[in-house]
Amino acid sequence: MTLSSSPPPLELPPERISAFARARSLWQSAGMLALYVLLFIACSLLFPNFLSWYNMGSLAQLIIIVGIVSCGMLFCLAAADFDLSVGSVAAFSGIVAVVVVNHTNSVALGILGGLAAGAAVGLVNGFVVAALGINALIATLATMQIVRGLAYIASHNTSIGAIDTGGRFHILFGKAVLLHVPTPVWLMIGCFIVCGFLFHSTTFGRNTLAIGGNIEAARLAGVATARTKILVFTLQGTLAGLAGIVGASQSGLGDPHASIGLELQVIAACVLGGVSLTGGIGTILAVIAGTLIMGTVQNAMDLNGVDTNKQYLVSGGILLAAVLFDKLKQKWT
């Protein structure tokens, strides 16, 4: 009796494999931007005032802080880490900037002080994670509490108004307009461009992705993993500080209660756009797409009069959906 051999496995021709690879690469790079276009069209049809100039300005204001901080979170997530302290850093940096402006009447010194405060916290985070080997969850959770406490102490648990005589601090990022577009929007676009260049076109960006993909392989390949991680967290802290300065300038206040929950919004925006929580995968287009989606959904809820408390449910649902999507994407790839 002759045993029949099992048929050989079906193999796709090389051109089909290449087509699938190109389609997958296109989806990873621009798929969520295409979905955002559909979301934008749907909102335009459903809400009569959505396309008004006033509402477009409101939408832009909604995404500025998240967009700036998400640029740094891209590097953290790509390196298989994350930073939970960004909300506290933003609040503390805004307070530092206002205090320095009030004491020196120098907007430039206030901005430098706020950026230095954010960079210092980022440097500490990077040292604790990379040099001491502490898990990023524990390290940044600790600094989140510590820095928020510093914000409360520095401000005596109350908002501090910027009292520079010419109102320059408030005008700089709050009321100034360039080519009919508020300067904070240009600042966010600049962050997208600079961080996109760093991430995709420099050794620093490639090393960040290599660490997230396989840190041991990156170390054996000669990547200075500890130094790269320290730089990643320092960049994240600096961008969080910049976001805090922008927020303080727009409101004219250094508020210790500002940016609570910012870290979750930023992580959700990145993951929703396609940045992997497990590291090694991410693009600046993913950050832009996720930021736009998060901001547009919130803007649509505002237009529809959705209660603020219910918006928390939607935001949490988006975060959960983003994490589930990231999990499914890992299985598909």
- Give the number of other Cβ atoms within 10 Å of residue 189's Cβ: 14
Q: What was the pLDDT predicted at 185?
A: 92
> Which of 35-39, 74-78, 131-135 shows the lowest mean pLDDT across its residues?
35-39
- Of 107, 86, 100, give the one whose Cα is nearest residue 259: 86
Q: What was the pLDDT predicted at 1?
A: 47
CB-based contacts of 109, cutoff 8 Å, min separation 6: 100, 101
Average pLDDT over residues 78-101: 95
Q: Between 238 and 59, whose confidence is greater?
A: 238
Average pLDDT over residues 205-225: 95
Average pLDDT over residues 126-136: 95
Q: Model pTM?
A: 0.88
Average pLDDT over residues 219-231: 95
Residues 54 and 303: their CA atoms lie apart, in Å, by 12
Share of the chain above pLDDT 90, in %: 57
Residue 90 has pLDDT above 60, yes or no: yes
Residues 115 and 96: their CA atoms lie apart, in Å, by 9
Q: What was the pLDDT predicted at 223?
A: 94
Average pLDDT over residues 176-184: 84
